[in-house]
Structure 1
Amino acid sequence: MSLPSYVHGASPVALLGETIGANLRRTVDRFGDRDALVAPAQEYRATYRQLWDTTTTLAKALLARGIEKGDRVGIWSPNRFEWVVIQYATARVGAILVNINPAYKAQELGHALAQSGLTLLLLARRFRQTDYVEILDRVRPECPALREAVVLDGEWTTLLDESGSIDDDRLAAREASLTFDDPINIQYTSGTTGAPKGATLSHHNILNNGFFCGEVLRYTEVDRVCVPVPFYHCFGMVIGNLACTSHGACIVVPGEGFDPKGTLAAIEAERCTSLYGVPTMFIAQLDHPDFDRTDFSSLRTGVMA
């Protein structure tokens, strides 16, 4: 007797048939005064209502910069609160967010910028020993589609200030024109045997991926999820950010890059209920002198990839 090698049939929970922006709006309506995003290293804290307002401001600024539906907008940065704001603002205007690995050097960056047809790049000034601005200056002549670059360190506030020329009706009209099957994200493969290849994903793809991960983890509005894994990867931006915002949980960003001491401190200080990581990250925390002094009583679940 043969048995199917997979489970099939009706799901007890329906797929979400909405855009990322619409889903975030529903969460704001339900949990507006609860923490949405905390980045201790940047001394940043926002409720869902505050996060919504900031994404609204950035979405309008992107419209003021001439970003059209389907335009590619890149983010080249380690984990920061701005990364999360950019993720949701680009989704609300229908721009395709291109995730760029913070570890990329000139050749890899040039390939990603040119191959994706990226028109606007939002980037950190530097990360660790890598000067992003210097690398971008080297490869920019090879990327004719790239019209503008905005450095988050120093130009973020200026960008947000440009939102004043766009009224609410114009943003609402753009959001109303979007469907959940629209492409919204390009994530690059590792490129182990060749150049990295861009995988194009829709609202429907990544929102449901994040939502059902949150369902498995039984997330609710009382959860606080420590996300030390990188946002440029689906682990951070989907299983982390979208799982949280689709359930009203709080995203806790312990630092720009993984640091065992900072992660342990964030778990205790923010009373995190869930922790993400890969085996080497968990081992580094287990081996850290602060491990035995850390209060883990709030933790109940997590993801090891």
Structure 2
Amino acid sequence: PVSFHSSVDDPLEKRVSTVGRVHPHVEVKAIDADGATVAVGAPGELCTRGYSVMKGYWDDEEKTREAIDPDGWMHTGDLATIDAEGYCNIVGRVKDMVIRGGENVYPREVEEFLYRHPKVREVQVFGIPDPKFGEELCAWIVLKPGQTATDQEIKAFCAGQIAHYKIPRHIRFRTELPMTVTGKPQKFLMREAMVDELGLVTPKTA
């Protein structure tokens, strides 16, 4: 549901870098994996409650229970930060978060940094299984026409600019990225391709 909006009176920086502040008569919060509200400015799963939240999925009680808890909070699956002024920034998806050696890495943050490289046209970052760290970062990159680059060049661009554990260990250059018909990246296909290429074993979680 639409839970935030920007005002014409908001600073330009906030209007272009956030989704705005919460609507009147709507509640929002960002929570951690245990359901506790995170500190101001810390990333967590965005939850919303109010008149704009649906009652549930039509004839699907199981999906309704997955999305809406008994207190009426809808768990959006979005990772978000909410600053001290109430502005919300969507930083990724819960399912895309990578846990590398106990550190939470948000692929969108790494992607936005890599887009600053002058040769990069498109990039997607995702996690793949790793026997030492649990998960390791991988980046698929489409370069701008006429450009060439190496994985070491990309890593050197990251060094000293982002935390070392956020630098993708595996970098692959592609002519295009797998997308849905609506233009959304299909990270699961990229992940499957890397698992096959590297001969990795996907750990069982249950």
TM-score, length-scaled by structure 1? 0.22
TM-score, length-scaled by structure 2? 0.28
Larger relative contact order, structure 1 or 2 (CA cutoff 8 Å, min sep 6): 1
Instruction: Kindly indicate which of the two structures has a greater share of residues assigned to helix.
Output: 1
